[in-house]
Structure 1
């Protein structure tokens, strides 16, 4: 019997299910570099170096020739107007003035005598006139009385003229006497003194002032400003300065004048010109002194509590003077804005319209993969809204 081969049956096991594929890792969010609009103060300034100098002063010169007899003030003294400062012994001896006064006394005595004689002559002439009317006198006696009265009147007029002439001479003598005492032309402080006892002085061509008096309650700052900055300055602008002698202390004033010629003459060709700009500062305690150096700041523009952005995010303006930026909101959505800029100073700029405080502005271009929202109308430019309008 033919055997039938046996078939070995093997149990078929089901294959295990395939493991699910691991999810792909989420892409890392694109890092956005932003700056935040914040409020603060901003000032656009012009810097310059300068020197302090006297604002009001007066030089005193001799008004009469002679020798300095005494000096009644010293450098640093505070003096009042018309206070005697220097006494001068005149070259012309005072004996001439004494002689003129003695002559005046003699003339006045002569005048009194001649007036008495004139009174007597006029009385005689009056009497002769009455007698003549009565035909009780001779013609010779009448004429003699008339001539005597006329002559006495003439002598009185001559002496009066001499007295007037001598009075003018005495006035000159008195003026010269007063000029021997040099007085302060103004109240202030003696800041220089060149007079000494025994010194010979002349009024014709004085070599130098005897002394200088200055009012130190105000000082002038003379700043040297470069030609590319001086065109931005105008009278009335705020100005301030510091000086090394008082670290950390500031003084302020108002720009008074720009001297319209270069400080160093015409200057060499190719070199930058500098101009002197002047302003005054109060100095009630006389802390500031002439010759001190000053580091000056002229305020061209300023704004307080202004909305500020770093100037680096603005780029170049468009034809309308507006700046294109991109604003990132809390949901990382990017929207374009157009900004109006006010004061610019250093690394900051004032935003007049287009942003609110706290808005985040993207630095640089929009990263790849992040698209800006489409504008409602193709080619339309987003309007510039002021901060107040945006808030409403």
Structure 2
């Protein structure tokens, strides 16, 4: 046997060994290929209720929150209330040092007495001038001057009385009274502190009129605001009571938009009852507004609408592969196992609670199994596990 024949025999042996290895691999792969039931996870369609909500964060506030200030400047002399104190309308909250204003009242009272004395003299002079004019001892001009002096004296009395009234009012302002009945939420002054009311009234106290009635001020995106209506039911939670859900209703949808970084939001006010007085001003509320509800409808898991085969198995039925789970608003595609293959079904969808979606129409029914995820990866036939394609000569 020559060298050429020996090489040919070795080459034939190698080819046979490779062919046997490839055949063995294909047989092993066929035997160990997982079934569709093992490869895909499914879930049965069920009838049930679905509620669609929109969410946002907000802040709890009293319905009426009054800032109490002062109209006069001075030094705080006494405080009669403190934080969380219950107050009645008209109750004295604090007192400024009245010494300066009391002195001004005394001064204006003296000015009134002086003006009245001048008025008495002017009245006597006017009466005397009329008698002398009647007897033709003085001229008309002198009589007119006496009359004018009397009118001026009366005006001075009125001016002095007005100034005295102003000074008495300012003296009264040294006692700060509560304009409403409620609870003192905050106090911004202390005894000995000087407050100045020169250009703007300073805030001394903040009083919540009724903490049993509160509201949530929240901001919703423009994409959600169209579904929000006055009177809709609201559920919300707060961090202080994380395991408890509170309820309210939409009170107002404000028209004024807020734009930040090209994001438009609208303020929504939610009315909240707080009979236990456990909700406090300033708490962050996580708000969910119910915008739609359906009773006893066919529900499909959202995972089924998001599912897409990893290897394009849906092409086996001759149907094009959809680009995404929710093809368009109100439509979607789900997959079922039929005759050993994946079969895509188009459906029309309704509202969703982000876990289940309402099925409005489509060729599916309750109890039918739909694919929600792929649990075992499928290897393409003809490709080795290492990713190297075998080629036969």
Contact 2:76/2:191 (8 A) holds in 1 = yes
Work out the CA distance in 2 between the residues paired with 1:218 and 1:339: 46
* 1:19-98 matched pairs, under 5 angstroms: 35-38=44-47, 40-90=48-98, 92-98=100-106
Pair 113,231 (structure 1): closer, same or farther in 2 beyond 3 Å: same
SS at structure 2 position matched to 1:163: helix
* 1:1-392 matched pairs, under 5 angstroms: 35-38=44-47, 40-90=48-98, 92-126=100-134, 128=135, 142-144=136-138, 146=140, 149-204=143-198, 209-215=203-209, 216-222=211-217, 231-234=223-226, 235-236=228-229, 238-246=233-241, 247-254=243-250, 256-257=253-254, 260-262=258-260, 278-285=268-275, 286-313=277-304, 316=325, 322=331, 339-354=347-362, 359-364=366-371
* 186-195 or 143-152: bigger deviation: 143-152
TM-score (norm 2): 0.62
Runs (5+) with no aligned partner, structure 1: 1-29, 129-141, 268-272, 329-334, 366-392
Contact 1:224/1:274 (8 A) holds in 2 = no
Pair 115,260 (structure 1): closer, same or farther in 2 beyond 3 Å: same
Pair 324,50 (structure 1): closer, same or farther in 2 beyond 3 Å: closer
Pair 199,323 (structure 1): closer, same or farther in 2 beyond 3 Å: closer
**Whose radius of gyration is greater, 1 or 2?**
1
In angstroms, what is the RMSD of aligned CA positions? 4.2
Counterpart residue number, 2:380: none
Q: Deviations over 1:37-75 (max 9, x none)?
A: 41x321233444554344532323332222222222222
SS at structure 2 position matched to 1:350: strand
Contact 2:215/2:272 (8 A) holds in 1 = no
How many residues in Structure 1 have an aligned counterpart in Structure 2? 303
SS at structure 2 position matched to 1:98: helix
Pair 167,43 (structure 1): closer, same or farther in 2 beyond 3 Å: same
How much has 1:291 moved relative to structure 2? 3.3
Pair 321,305 (structure 1): closer, same or farther in 2 beyond 3 Å: closer
Contact 1:68/1:86 (8 A) holds in 2 = yes
Task: Write 1 or 2 for the structure with the bigger share of helix.
Answer: 2
Work out the CA distance in 2 between the residues paired with 1:161 and 1:90: 29
SS at structure 2 position matched to 1:340: strand
Counterpart residue number, 1:7: none
* 314-323 or 54-63: bigger deviation: 314-323
Contact 1:65/1:91 (8 A) holds in 2 = no
Contact 2:225/2:266 (8 A) holds in 1 = no
How much has 1:320 moved relative to structure 2? 9.7
Pair 353,205 (structure 1): closer, same or farther in 2 beyond 3 Å: same
Runs (5+) with no aligned partner, structure 2: 1-35, 307-324, 338-342, 373-393
How much has 1:144 moved relative to structure 2? 1.5
Pair 282,345 (structure 1): closer, same or farther in 2 beyond 3 Å: closer
SS at structure 1 position matched to 2:53: strand
Work out the CA distance in 2 between the residues paired with 1:143 and 1:64: 55
Work out the CA distance in 1 between the residues paired with 2:218 and 2:54: 11
Contact 1:59/1:211 (8 A) holds in 2 = yes
